Structures are given as C-alpha cells and as structure tokens.
C-alpha cells in the first residue's frame, strides 16, 4: 500500500503544476480560466483522502524489523556528508572537502570497501587532515544526534514530533 500511495505522488505533482500554471498568468479581471483548476483539485483531494484512509488502516498493523532497519542505516556510504563535515571542521573549505570525499568514495567502490574500512594511511593520501578520530564519523547514532535543526532527525526532535502527534490525535 505504501508503494502504491507513493506512486500517486507523480499525479499529485502534475495536478499541482497544472493549477500553478493556470494561476501564474491569471489576470486580475478575467478569471474564467479558473474553471480548469477543478479537475486537478478534486482529483487531488480524492487521491489524498484515499491515501489517508489506507494509511490509517495500515499503520496500526505495521511491524518494524529493527535489525533490518539498523543494518540499512549502518551503511557507511550514508555518512559521506559527515565525512565532508569532518574535514570542514578541520579547516577544509566545503567545496574541497566534498571533492576529497567524492574521490574517497570512488576509491572505496573501486577497492570493494566500505568507507569505514579504508585504512587511515589511505585516507591521509586524500587529505592529511584525516586522523584517528575519523572513526567516530561512522557512528550513525552520533550522526543523527548532531542533526538538531528544525525537521532534522535528532532523537529529541523525533520524540518531540511523536509527542506532538499523540496530543493532536488524543
């Protein structure tokens, strides 16, 4: 059901673009072309309503496989941005850090290694700023905890959103 609902996103985006295009050139005194928004609007409302019905029935029955989720989230390639941020904190301009990490990722793929499996000596050949503390970068829990901006995935943010939604639904 989730995949089928995700598939509806393309049509909803198309409806939105249709409405926005109609509104873009709308004159202030002539609005008969607004009758063209109804089909897209009603289709979108019906689609979202159906998706919400399906999701409200599906979510209480969902079973989470924590082990599979942790394994998927543990892919060291997901932390490439953290690796670039590591170099930035050591004084490398982000543009250069991004390029270094891109080369390091290509090296890892070519060598058949995860980013966290590249020896420190090899990392230093890409940048002398890599040091023993680079191993900390590959801790996904630490990475998430550092993402504290509004909407970011820090555990405190997630807990606050869960609490917020529980209050709204009660």
Report the alpha-carbon angle 74-75-80, nearest 5: 115
For the segment 42-53, the average pLDDT, to the nearest whole number, is 95
Digit-coded pLDDT (tens) for 127-159: 999 999 999 999 999 999 999 999 999 999 999
Q: What percentage of the chain has pLDDT greater than the value 70?
A: 98
Mean pLDDT of the chain: 92
Cα–Cα distance, 39 to 47 (Å, whole number): 12
Is residue 8 packed enough to be buried (19+ CB in 10 Å), middle (13-18) or exposed (0-12)? middle
Q: Report residue 151 as tokens.
A: 């909407």
pTM above 0.75, yes or no: no
Of 170, 82, 70, 94, the closest CA to residue 133 belongs to 82
């Amino acid at each position: 059901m989730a995949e089928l609902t995700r598939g509806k996103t393309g049509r909803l985006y198309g409806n939105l673009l249709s409405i926005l295009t109609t509104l873009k050139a709308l004159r202030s005194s002539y609005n008969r072309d607004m009758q063209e928004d109804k089909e897209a609007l009603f289709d979108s409302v019906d689609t979202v309503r159906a998706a919400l019905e399906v999701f409200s029935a599906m979510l209480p029955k969902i079973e989470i496989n924590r082990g599979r989720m942790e394994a998927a989230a543990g892919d060291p390639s997901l932390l490439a941005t953290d690796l670039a941020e590591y170099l930035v904190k050591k004084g490398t301009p982000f543009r250069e850090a991004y390029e270094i990490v891109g080369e390091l990722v290509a090296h890892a793929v070519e060598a058949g290694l995860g980013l966290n499996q590249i020896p420190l000596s090899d990392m230093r050949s890409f940048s002398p700023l890599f040091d023993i503390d680079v191993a900390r970068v590959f801790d996904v829990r630490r990475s998430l905890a550092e993402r504290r901006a509004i909407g970011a995935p820090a555990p405190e943010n997630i807990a606050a959103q869960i609490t917020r939604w529980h209050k709204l639904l009660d």
